[in-house]
Structure 1
Amino acid sequence: MQKKYIHSDDFLYSENYNEYILENSPRQQKKWKAYFKEFPETEEAANKASKIILSLLSMDDHTSQKEISDDKLHKQFEETWDKYRGQKSKNVFLRTSKVIYQTVGVAAAVVFLMLSFSFIRNYISDRNHQPEYFEIYVPTAEQSRLTLPDGTRVWVNSETEIKYSNQFNTKERNIILSGEAYFEVAHNEDLPFYVVAHGARVKVTGTKFNVKGYTEDSKVETVLVEGRVELSRLGDKSGSSIELIPGDKAILNLKDSKVSISREDVMDDVAWKDGKLVFRNIPLQEVCKTLERHFDADILLAGDAGNLYNHPFTFTIENETLPMVLEYLCKAAPLMYSTKYIDEDGENGIEKIEYIVSAR
C-alpha cells in the first residue's frame, strides 16, 4: 500500500479496509498486517473505524436496499455516531459494503451505499439552528433505490451522489444531485420539490422524471415521464423557465445555457432503473462513458479511434458482459479492442483490466 491513512475517516472511506473488517479475507489480512507494521501510529484511528463499521453491521434494521427506510437508518446512524464522535474530523464517510447486505440475505445485485453526514462545528449545540446534510453515494457499477422522508421514491444510478438536509419535508424539499436519478415525487403543492443538478434546477409538484447531470459532462438531461416540471438555469436572475410535458426530453447546454427539447420514447432513457441500457444513435465516446460506469471498467479510445468519437450506435444491454458489448461495437463499426492487465496491488496480482478500443 502506498497511501497512508491518518484519520478514522480514511479507513471508513476505504473499501479495502471495509473488506478487511467485514470479510477478514486472507488477501486483505496480508495487506493490512504489512501496513500497520509500517505505520503503527495509525492503529488507534483504524480501531475507531472498525468499531463504527461493526456497529453498522449489527443494526437491527436490515431493510432491503430496494426500499430504504431513511428515517430509521439515519436514527441508527446517529446512535452509532454518538458513541464515537470524539474524533476531531468534521466529516465522516461511512461505507456499508456489499458484505453487509450479503450477510442479511439481500440479493447480490443490490448495491451498497456510502452514507456521509456533514457535521458542523459544535454539532450538539448548533444542531437545532444549522441544517445537517445527508449524502448518499452509489459507486461505479452499482444502482440503488431509496424512499425520502416525504415518501418520494428515488432510483439512483452508478457514480451518483444525492444530498439533502434534515429540514427536508419540513421547511423545504431540495435535492442536490450529481449523477443520474429517477424520481417519483410525492405530491405536495405547498412544498415544491426541487432538484439542483450541475447548473440546472428542476421544479416539481408531483411527477415522474429522470435527471442526468454528471460533473464531467457539459450538459444536463431532464426526461419527463408523467406530470409537470419546470426547468431553469441555476443562477438565472431573469426567473425564466421552460415547462416540460410528458414525453419531453430537455438537454441544457451548460456552455451557452441553451435548451433543446425533443419528443421521443422517454422510456428508453429511464430503462436503466430496470436493469437495461438503451442506446439510440449515441456517439461512441458517450457510449464508452456509460459502459465504464455500468461495468466499473476502464475503456480507452486509442489511436485512430478519435475519428470515430461521434459514430452513432443503437443497441440495448440487459444481461450482456462488457466483452460481448465490445464485440458488438467492433462488428457494427470499423473498430477492434484489446485488453491490458493493470497490476494495482504490486504484490497480489491483477486487480483491473483496461479495455483499449481502436480503429481497424
Structure 2
Amino acid sequence: MDLPEIETLLVRYFNNELSSAEAEKVAAWIAGSEEHRKTAEHLYYINLAAEAERLHREIDPAEALRKVHRRIRSDRWHRTFHRLERIAAVLLLPFIVLSLLLASKITEKNNSMVEIRSTTGMISAVTLPDNSRVWLNSNSKLIYPTRFSGKERRVKLCGEGYFEVTKDTKHKFVVEARSTEIEVYGTEFNVEAYNDEYIRATLVKGSIGMKYDDSRHMRQLVRLVPDQFVIYNSRTGAIYLDQANIASSTSWKEGKIVLDNTPLNDALRMIGNKYNVSFDIKDQKLLGNTFTGTFSNQSLDVILRYFTISSKLRFHQIGLEDGNRETDGRAIFEVY
C-alpha cells in the first residue's frame, strides 16, 4: 500500500469504518515495523485533533473537550490496540519487550493521571515527565501524573517495576507500593509488590529508604545501600534485609529468568510473576532445593519440565484463583 492509501485507511480504521478484513490488513501493516507504528500513532493524534477542532466549531469548547476525552477512553481505542497486541504476538517472538502503545493499556484519569498496564508475558517501558525511566514486568501497573508538581515526584506501582530515576535533590521521588513508600532522589532500584502481604525492594545504585508500618502500626524507615534487598511482611510488620543477587533480581527486565543457586520458593515466585501463575508447595521439605539456569523465551511447560527432570518435582494444575482487574485469575499449580 502506498502512503496516501494507508493514510486514508488509517483514518477510517481509527473511526471504526473498515470491514473486518480491511481492519486486519491495516493492523498487520502497523505491526510490520516501528516506522509503520509511528506513522499510525502520529496520524491517530492528528485525527483526534481534527475531531476536537470540528467539535469546537459545532459546540462549546468544554463539551468538545469532554467528547474528545471520552474518545480517548473509549472501548474502540482499547479494541484497536488490543487487536494490535494479538497480531504482534503472532508476528514477533513471545515475551519480547513491546513498545508502549502496543504492549500497554493506557488510560488518562481526570486529565492529570496516566495509568500504564503491562499484560501477561510482556514487559513495558515508559519515560516519566521528569525523564525517569520505568520498566514494568508482566501483569504490572503504574500510575503517574502527566506533570510532576510540588515538592515530590510521586507514582504508584502494583506489580513489579525497575526504576532509573533522574536525580533531583529538590524533588524527591516516591514510589507507593501497596502499604509502603520507597523514597529516592536519583538511583536505580527494583520494586516488587504483586500482593498486599509481601513487598520487596532491591537497590542497584544510589540510596533508597522504605517506609512501612511495624507490628505496632508505627511508621518506620529502613535504608538500603547498593546490592541490598528488603522484604516487608505487611501482615506481621516484620522486615528482612540481606544482600541481593542483582542479576537474578533484575533479569526480568531483559525478558529472562536467571536462577543462581536460587531457593525453590524464590524461583517459583519469579516464574509466577512472568507467567501469571501461582504455586502451592505441598511438601515443605522441597523448600531446601536450589536451582541454577537461565530461561528467556521458553514456554511455562518447558520450564516446569526442566524442574521435573532436574529435581523430580511434580506439578499439577488445580484451577484458577479468583480473578480481579490486576491478576485476571492466576492458574494454580500444586507442587509435590
Coarse TM-score class (shorter-chain normalised): 0.5 to 0.7
2:84 corresponds in structure 1 to 99
- Aligned 8 A contact 2:251 2:257 in 1: yes
2:156 matched to 1:176?
Answer: yes
Task: Specify whether residues 82 and 171 from structure 1 end up closer, same or farther in structure 2 by C-alpha distance, changes over 3 A only.
Answer: farther
Q: Please report how far the alpha carbon of residue 280 of structure 1 lies from its aligned counterpart in structure 2 after TM superposition.
A: 4.8
Task: Specify whether residues 154 and 86 from structure 1 end up closer, same or farther in structure 2 by C-alpha distance, changes over 3 A only.
Answer: closer
Listed one character per residue, the Cα deviations across residues 119-144 of structure 1 (whole Å, up to 9, x for unaligned) are: 3xxxxxxx6xxxx2110010111101
2:325 corresponds in structure 1 to none
- Say what the alpha-carbon RMSD is for the aligned residues: 4.3
Q: Please report how far the alpha carbon of residue 263 of structure 1 lies from its aligned counterpart in structure 2 after TM superposition.
A: 1.2
2:117 matched to 1:137?
Answer: yes
2:296 corresponds in structure 1 to 318
Q: Please report how far the alpha carbon of residue 339 of structure 1 lies from its aligned counterpart in structure 2 after TM superposition.
A: 7.6
Paired amino acid for 1:267:
A
Secondary structure in 2 aligned to 1:149? coil
2:279 matched to 1:335?
Answer: no
d(CA) in 1 for partners of 2:172, 2:180: 16
Q: Please report how far the alpha carbon of residue 107 of structure 1 lies from its aligned counterpart in structure 2 after TM superposition.
A: 5.8
d(CA) in 2 for partners of 1:310, 1:280: 15
Runs (5+) with no aligned partner, structure 1? 1-18, 26-55, 63-71, 120-126, 343-353
Listed one character per residue, the Cα deviations across residues 163-182 of structure 1 (whole Å, up to 9, x for unaligned) are: 01234256531010000000
Secondary structure in 2 aligned to 1:142? coil
As a proportion of its length, which structure holds more helix? Answer: 2
Listed one character per residue, the Cα deviations across residues 1-43 of structure 1 (whole Å, up to 9, x for unaligned) are: xxxxxxxxxxxxxxxxxx9995389xxxxxxxxxxxxxxxxxx
Secondary structure in 2 aligned to 1:164? strand
Task: Specify whether residues 83 and 169 from structure 1 end up closer, same or farther in structure 2 by C-alpha distance, changes over 3 A only.
Answer: closer
Task: Specify whether residues 253 and 118 from structure 1 end up closer, same or farther in structure 2 by C-alpha distance, changes over 3 A only.
Answer: same
Paired amino acid for 1:313:
T
Q: Please report how far the alpha carbon of residue 287 of structure 1 lies from its aligned counterpart in structure 2 after TM superposition.
A: 3.9
Secondary structure in 2 aligned to 1:59? helix
2:200 corresponds in structure 1 to 221
Q: Please report how far the alpha carbon of residue 97 of structure 1 lies from its aligned counterpart in structure 2 after TM superposition.
A: 3.0
2:146 corresponds in structure 1 to 166
Secondary structure in 2 aligned to 1:241? strand
Taking structure 2 as the reference length, the TM-score comes to 0.66
d(CA) in 2 for partners of 1:22, 1:289: 39
Secondary structure in 1 aligned to 2:314? strand
d(CA) in 1 for partners of 2:224, 2:165: 16
- Aligned 8 A contact 1:230 1:241 in 2: yes
**Percent of pairs identical after alignment?**
22
Between stretches 333-342 and 187-196, larger displacement belongs to 333-342
d(CA) in 2 for partners of 1:299, 1:214: 12
1:60 corresponds in structure 2 to 42
Task: Specify whether residues 234 and 191 from structure 1 end up closer, same or farther in structure 2 by C-alpha distance, changes over 3 A only.
Answer: farther
Secondary structure in 2 aligned to 1:60? helix
2:183 corresponds in structure 1 to 203
Paired amino acid for 2:301:
P
Paired amino acid for 1:224:
L
1:15 corresponds in structure 2 to none
d(CA) in 2 for partners of 1:274, 1:336: 28
1:124 corresponds in structure 2 to none
Q: Decide which of 283, 302, 305 is 1:307's aligned counterpart.
A: 283
Task: Specify whether residues 339 and 101 from structure 1 end up closer, same or farther in structure 2 by C-alpha distance, changes over 3 A only.
Answer: closer
Secondary structure in 1 aligned to 2:258? strand
Give matches, 1:1-360, under 5 Å.
23=24, 58-60=40-42, 82=65, 84-85=67-68, 95=78, 96-97=81-82, 99=84, 109-111=96-98, 112-119=103-110, 132-168=112-148, 172-215=152-195, 218-233=197-212, 240-280=220-260, 284=264, 287-295=267-275, 306-308=282-284, 310-315=287-292, 316-337=294-315, 359=336
d(CA) in 1 for partners of 2:185, 2:43: 31
Task: Specify whether residues 312 and 219 from structure 1 end up closer, same or farther in structure 2 by C-alpha distance, changes over 3 A only.
Answer: farther
Q: Please report how far the alpha carbon of residue 162 of structure 1 lies from its aligned counterpart in structure 2 after TM superposition.
A: 0.3
- Aligned 8 A contact 1:173 1:193 in 2: yes
Secondary structure in 1 aligned to 2:121? coil
Listed one character per residue, the Cα deviations across residues 280-304 of structure 1 (whole Å, up to 9, x for unaligned) are: 56554654454344235x5665xxx
d(CA) in 1 for partners of 2:237, 2:157: 19
Q: Please report how far the alpha carbon of residue 337 of structure 1 lies from its aligned counterpart in structure 2 after TM superposition.
A: 4.2
Paired amino acid for 2:312:
P
Task: Specify whether residues 299 and 250 from structure 1 end up closer, same or farther in structure 2 by C-alpha distance, changes over 3 A only.
Answer: closer
d(CA) in 1 for partners of 2:210, 2:154: 14
Listed one character per residue, the Cα deviations across residues 209-259 of structure 1 (whole Å, up to 9, x for unaligned) are: 0000112x5211110010011111169986531111111111111112222
